[in-house]
Amino acid sequence: MSWIGGKKSSRDIIIPRFPVYYEKYIEVFGGGGWILFAKPPNNDFEVFNDFNSNISNLYTCVRDHSAELIERLRYVLNSREDFDRIKHIISEPAEIGDVKRAAEFYQLIRYSYASSCDSFGGKPHSMWSNFPLIEQACRRLQKVVIENKDFEKLISQQDSEVSFFYCDPPYFNTESYYENVGFGTADHERLRKVLSGISGKFMVSYNDCPEIRSLYDGCAMYAYERLNNIRQRFDGGSMFGELLIANYDLNERLNSNRQISFFDEEDNYGNI
């Protein structure tokens, strides 16, 4: 689903730079789940976490109650009046497993402007077109552990030598774009501190700025640019600098794939 800060346009840059080996994959700031859903499931232990209880509740209901969720969405209205009626839920904590709340939250995401959940989009959209996506997501999430925890507690609990943490926190000085997040400078520093002490590996996505480069000085970094979706309305072609930060070689998987293609011999049938 669309979500502020979602990594739809960056997933093909991020996933190839995952470490070669890990047994536990923990997505610390889950959001729209673009990396989890694009990542091959393999046989690793997977955890999806978001401190926003509305998101964690939605993913739990997609996994455990998809049929009931779809039925509740079947006759929702794409109308400003209905949108304004349920908009208040984004400011209230959700009880995990609440299907009615999950349906209303999903309605807000789909019918709001730029998935902001706070302003009505006023564009035609068939909710029924999302039902196959919900069913696919249900199947993909069956073996995924869904959490609703503060990042520090989650990382401490899931850390091990075979753990890999992918973190996509609210970007530095852009926290105002996220509703009810409360993620400030102290939290950026707290995230750096907890990651510096783990036994496993981590990758963090950030906006490329001097403050973040200084905070993660000594770590591996990879800089790239993507279209700035927020500025596209009035500054077409505007680019946004992003940064991948890790405590391992960000090219190790890419180099491993190159070694296979360069040095492995093929048999008469083209098999390596």
Mean pLDDT over residues 162-168, rounded? 97
pLDDT, tens digit, 9 for 90 and up, residues 202-238 = 999 999 999 999 999 999 999 998 765 555 455 555 5
Residue 252 lies in a domain: no
Question: Could you give the CA distance from residue 245 to residue 247 in angstroms, rounded to a whole number?
Answer: 7
β-pairing verdict for 201-207 and 144-147: unpaired
Q: What is the predicted pLDDT for the residue at 266?
A: 44
Residue 271 lies in a domain: no
Residue for token pair 């035609």: 124
Is the pLDDT assigned to residue 1 strictly greater than 80?
no
Residue 272 lies in a domain: no
Mean pLDDT over residues 157-163, rounded? 97
Question: Could you give the CA distance from residue 224 to residue 242 in angstroms, rounded to a whole number?
Answer: 5
Contact criterion met (CB below 8 Å) for 188 and 213: no
Is the pLDDT assigned to residue 80 strictly greater than 60?
yes
Rg (CA), the chain: 20
pLDDT, tens digit, 9 for 90 and up, residues 125-136 = 999 999 999 999
Can you give the residue range of the structural domain that contains 44? 22-222
Is the pLDDT assigned to residue 188 strictly greater than 70?
yes
Helix (H, G, I), strand (E, B) or coil at 148: coil
Q: What is the predicted pLDDT for the residue at 111?
A: 94
Residue 141 lies in a domain: yes
Residue 180 lies in a domain: yes
Percent of the chain with pLDDT over 70: 86
Residue for token pair 């950026």: 188
Is the pLDDT assigned to residue 56 strictly greater than 90?
yes
DSSP 197-218: T-SSEEEEEEE--HHHHHHTTT
pLDDT, tens digit, 9 for 90 and up, residues 237-272 = 556 789 999 999 999 998 887 655 555 554 443 333
Within 10 Å of residue 92's Cβ, how many Cβ atoms? 10
Mean pLDDT over residues 33-52, rounded? 91
DSSP β-bridge partners for residue 204:
167, 245
DSSP β-bridge partners for residue 130:
none
Number of compact structural domains in the chain? 1
Greater pLDDT, 262 or 82: 82
Q: What is the predicted pLDDT for the residue at 268?
A: 41
- Whether the pTM exceeds 0.95: the reply is no
Q: 207 is written with which tokens?
A: 């906006």
Kindly list the distances between the CA atom of residue 174 and the CA atoms of 3, 21, 81, in Å, as whole numbers in the listed order. Answer: 14, 33, 30
Q: What is the predicted pLDDT for the residue at 9?
A: 79
Q: What is the predicted pLDDT for the residue at 261?
A: 53
DSSP 171-205: PTT-GGGSTT----HHHHHHHHHHHHT-SSEEEEE
Question: Could you give the CA distance from residue 264 to residue 269 in angstroms, rounded to a whole number?
Answer: 14
Residue 14 lies in a domain: no
Helix (H, G, I), strand (E, B) or coil at 46: strand
CATH of the domain at 35: 1.10.1020.10
Q: What is the predicted pLDDT for the residue at 76?
A: 95
Residue 130 lies in a domain: yes
Q: What is the predicted pLDDT for the residue at 124?
A: 92
Q: Please name which of 43, 13, 31, 25 lies closest in space to residue 159, comparing C-alpha atoms.
A: 25
Residue 253 lies in a domain: no
Percent of the chain with pLDDT over 90: 69
Q: What is the predicted pLDDT for the residue at 271?
A: 38
pLDDT, tens digit, 9 for 90 and up, residues 85-126 = 999 998 889 999 999 999 999 999 999 987 788 889 999 999
DSSP E strands in 55-179: the ranges are 144-147, 163-167
Q: What is the predicted pLDDT for the residue at 40?
A: 86
Backbone φ and ψ of 51, nearest 5°: -70, -20
